Chains A and B, each alone.
Chain A
Amino acid sequence: MLEHLELFFKSIFIDNMVFAVFLGMCSYLAVSKKVSTAVGLGAAVIFVLGVTVPLNWLLDQYLLRDGALAWLGPEYADYNLGFLSFILFIATIATMVQLVEIVVEKFSPSLYNSLGIFLPLIAVNCAILGGSLFMQTRDIPNIGLAFNYGISSGIGWFLAILAIAAIREKIRYSNVPAPLRGLGITFIITGLMGIGFQSFGGMLTGDNEPPEESAPTTAEVKQKEEKDIKKEIAEDDKAVSYNEVLNK
């Protein structure tokens, strides 16, 4: 139970798809002009990640990794089909997205109307493939955790796109320097939010995986100080966005 909770918070805040590893940036920038569309896309991402990560976990476990074919018989035990993982993962994702689209259209037209147009976009969203690839490189031990990982990184992505969409709606009324308007200022805001999210790194509790930094050097201490200053700025931004979300 504890490991579930830890993975859940870790994937939402510390390894946030957008702010820590920059996945799904294309749709993050393209679809974040309005809060309502951002919510639709975010929900679709959570959904598809929750379906594809456990599926790809099964593929990885019983087909792809070194010795995974042992269940077929001892003569298959030393096959390693790892090099096929890209093509199989992306095929699974593309198929699942189509399948999900058909099923949702059939059984819940109202959900289809809100998610529908975003589903085809999602097949080529890096966050989805990234979720499966990270699941593979991080050796997620069982299918429950894989499901948890998919859902929680989806939620992280959802929060990110929601926050930026809210900020972008408000920033339309501000006087941004002309060359920065639109794309430029969005990049910079995302950077500041990312710095804010970096501060969640301290949340990591007693774990089996050491934090990524080794012993702190002077440069890192300095980096920490700077982070703290920037964090405050970014958190002001975030506070604004959360207030807006509440107001909706």
Chain B
Amino acid sequence: MALLSKKDASLISDPLADNNPITIQVLGICSALAITAELKASVVMAISVMFVLGVGNVVISLMRNVIPSKIRIIVQLIVVATLVIIVDQVLKAFAYELSKTLSVFVGLIITNCIIMGRFEAFALGNGPWRSFLDGIGNSLGYGIILVIVGFFRELLGSGTLFGYPVLGDPIEKTGLYALGYENNGFMIIPPAALIVVGIIIWVQRSRNRALIEEA
């Protein structure tokens, strides 16, 4: 990539796998799991977080030299809350049904630990452009996990993707259902998300054994 130096490019690529915010840094799980029963909600959530984290990182990075360190948490919270209000109002205006599905979880982006974590760990010590890349990279890493979890939960749980039936019709018994396939209702209930993420962690750490934790 000519656009980005190698160091800058790693800001985007690292969080996608080996420094993933959810599976490695253990940040932002709070709002990630509850909305992944459908792929559509996962994608919207990922985009919202990308907006908030990208813009927020730039804002905090620009202000990093004027924020007194004692009150920085409150300053950060106000910046995030403002951005989240924008996201919430846009969703309510253009995707009302979806904003009903996401309900309080849009608001909970404010306390999403990824955001505070990246502000503290990166934006307070780096320039705006690098902070922006870091924000995009981390929210992409977050988004990938959300989309993977959403994909499996929706496919196995309701047999649809983005609301379109891809495995045939369960009532008319077409497609796979003609062969006796059944939807696994277990995937729809909230705890299934935890187990899917657990399995993702398992697969990832089996492939890259350097990530294994000491017991």
Chain A interface residues (CB < 8 Å from chain B): 19-26, 29-30, 83-87, 90-91, 94, 120, 123-126, 128-130, 133-134, 137, 172, 176-185, 187-188, 190-195, 198, 218-220, 222-223, 226-227, 230
- The residues of A that contact B199 with a CB separation of less than 8 Å are 188
For the A-B complex, the count of residue pairs with Cβ-Cβ distances under 8 Å equals 169
Q: A127 → chain B, closest Cβ, in Å?
A: 8
Given contacts A86-B88, A137-B103, contact A219 B183 (CB under 8 A): yes
- The residues of B that contact A187 with a CB separation of less than 8 Å are 194-195, 197-198, 201
- The residues of A that contact B77 with a CB separation of less than 8 Å are 90-91, 94, 123-124
B95 at interface (Cβ–Cβ under 8 A)?
Answer: no
* B33 contacts A25, C-beta separation under 8 Å: yes
* B88 contacts A126, C-beta separation under 8 Å: no
* B33 contacts A22, C-beta separation under 8 Å: yes
Q: A153 → chain B, closest Cβ, in Å?
A: 13
B176 at interface (Cβ–Cβ under 8 A)?
Answer: no
Q: B147 → chain A, closest Cβ, in Å?
A: 17
* A183 contacts B26, C-beta separation under 8 Å: yes
Q: How would you classify the secondary structure of chain A's contact residues: helix, strand, loop or mixed?
A: helix
* A22 contacts B34, C-beta separation under 8 Å: yes
Given contacts A21-B190, A22-B30, A184-B201, contact A87 B212 (CB under 8 A): no
> Chain A residue with minimal CB distance to B213?
A182
**Which of the residues A19, A90, A123, A179 comes within 8 Å of B191, measured between beta carbons?**
A19
Q: A86-B88, A130-B104 are in contact. List 18 more A-B contacts (CB 8 A).
A: A22-B29, A22-B33, A26-B26, A86-B81, A90-B81, A91-B81, A124-B113, A125-B111, A179-B204, A179-B205, A179-B212, A180-B198, A181-B215, A183-B26, A184-B202, A192-B191, A194-B190, A223-B186
* A181 contacts B213, C-beta separation under 8 Å: yes
Q: What 0/1 readout, one digit per residue, does chain B (72-112) give for beta carbons within 8 Å of chain A?
A: 01100110011011001100000000000001100110111
Q: How far is the CA of A182 from the CA of B26 in the complex (A)?
A: 11
Q: A28 → chain B, closest Cβ, in Å?
A: 9
Q: How far is the CA of A134 from the CA of B34 in the complex (A)?
A: 14
Given contacts A23-B30, A183-B26, A191-B191, contact A133 B104 (CB under 8 A): yes
Chain B interface residues (CB < 8 Å from chain A): 23, 26-34, 73-74, 77-78, 81-82, 84-85, 88-89, 103-104, 107-108, 110-113, 116, 170, 182-186, 188-195, 197-199, 201-206, 209, 211-215
Q: How far is the CA of A176 from the CA of B205 in the complex (A)?
A: 13
Interchain residue pairs with CB less than 8 A apart (25): A19-B191, A22-B31, A22-B33, A22-B194, A23-B30, A23-B108, A29-B26, A87-B82, A87-B85, A94-B77, A176-B215, A179-B201, A180-B202, A181-B212, A181-B214, A181-B215, A182-B214, A183-B23, A183-B213, A187-B195, A190-B194, A193-B191, A219-B185, A220-B185, A226-B185
* B85 contacts A194, C-beta separation under 8 Å: no
Q: How far is the CA of A192 from the CA of B112 in the complex (A)?
A: 24
